[in-house]
Amino acid sequence: MGIRYDGLFIMLKENGITKTGLQKRLGLSSATMAKLSKNENVAMKVIEDICRELKCQPGDIMSMTSDSPPNKLLSVLKEEKEMKLKGGIYHQTQIKLAYNSNRIEGSMLSEDQTRYIYETNTIEVKADKPTKVDDIIETVNHFQCFDYMIDCAESELTESIMKEFHRILKSGTSDSRKDWFRVGDYKARPNVVGDMRTTAPAKVQGEIRKLLEEYNEKKSINIDDIIEFHYRFETIHPFQDGNGRVGRMILFKECLRHHIIPFIIDEEHKLYYYRGLKEYPNERGYLTDTCLSAQDRYRELMKYFFEEE
């Protein structure tokens, strides 16, 4: 068993406090900050001071982990993210996930344009083809959301993580300027997906809590559980918009958390993915097969980066 401080780092992010900011406020030494970052034991007094500052309980900032095999993919993603390494699996995943997840939703940006935004923070606009400002903002937001997802990958899935995914993805978009559109919160108005009715706004919170409770109390979670969660989440459709992207970010997070090879549903397979969701109540195989073949593609990517070392 070991200690993890994921809760602390999530809470700092949610409150807009940097690690240096916390260090200064509490007068912590650099050695203590390094211990927190490396999930090593710190004095109880440090935990007390942090809880007093953040007005929370120790269980909100730290948790015990069971001994499980090291999660190589997650460690590499974290390391390359911190190093801002170019050309590695983190960089590739950022571009492929943002491009495909936004493209499924209807973004008109190409994979090359997505890569350009990621690598140079610029975009080549074609004179004969207008580019939507929202597509660009949502692409940049997706990169940030992926980083947040890596930070909280090992934490239990909660409402606040899901809402934070939504807040990051939709911040600064034209939707966020509509007064009825709740960025980072559940929908205020009923919505449909395709021709299917979704959960009414007043019932969303209860349904999501029930879903999370049933999911999180499972003793062990496998890929079928994660896919089932995705189907149920999309059926509830808790947010006004952006449910597909939030749902696919959760898929990636939960695979990382449970040491399962993650996957990116690519836009070429969008129709199979949609059919899989539609048919899921009668035949689970379509959605499962779509996810498993996407997983095979990500496994190939991992092989390239890890087995050629």
Ligand X SMILES: Nc1ncnc2c1ncn2[C@@H]1O[C@H](COP(=O)(O)OP(=O)(O)OP(=O)(O)O)[C@@H](O)[C@H]1O
Q: Which residues bind ligand X (CB under 6 A)?
A: 104-105, 193-194, 196, 234-235, 241-245, 247, 274, 277-278
Residue nearer to ligand X on the CB measure, 185 or 241: 241
How far apart are CB 274 and ligand X at their closest, in Å?
5
Active-site residue flag, 258: no
User: Within a 10 A sphere around the Cβ of 131, how many other Cβ atoms?
Assistant: 15
Q: Rounded to the nearest whole angstrom, what is the least distance from the CB of residue 192 to ligand X in the complex?
A: 8
Binding residues: 241-248, 273-274
**Quick one: DSSP state of residue 281?**
T
The burial of 252, by beta-carbon neighbours within 10 Å (0-12 exposed, 13-18 middle, 19 or more buried), is given as buried
Structure tokens at 22: 């916390």
Spatial contact of 164 and 123, defined as CB atoms under 8 Å apart: no
Q: What angle, 0 to 180 degrees and rounded to 10, lies between the N-to-C axes of helices 243-257 and 223-236?
A: 160
Contacting residues for 242 by C-beta, under 8 A, at least 6 apart? 105, 166, 169, 170
> Rounded to the nearest whole angstrom, what is the least distance from the CB of residue 231 to ligand X in the complex?
6
Least distance from ligand X to the Cβ atom of residue 194, Å: 5
Q: CB–CB of 168/252 below 8 Å?
A: no
Q: Between residues 111 and 241, which has the closer beta carbon with respect to ligand X?
A: 241
| Beta strand pairing call for 2-4 and 192-193 | unpaired
Pick 7 or 247: Cβ nearer ligand X: 247
Question: Quick one: 78 or 248, whose CB is closer to ligand X?
Answer: 248
Spot the catalytic one: 142, 166, 237, 269. Answer: 237
C-alpha span between 240 and 237 (Å, rounded)? 8
Q: Is 193 helix (H, G, I), strand (E, B) or coil?
A: strand
**Residue number, nearest CB to ligand X:** 244
Residue list for the binding site for ATP: 241-248, 273-274
Q: Which residues are catalytic?
A: 237
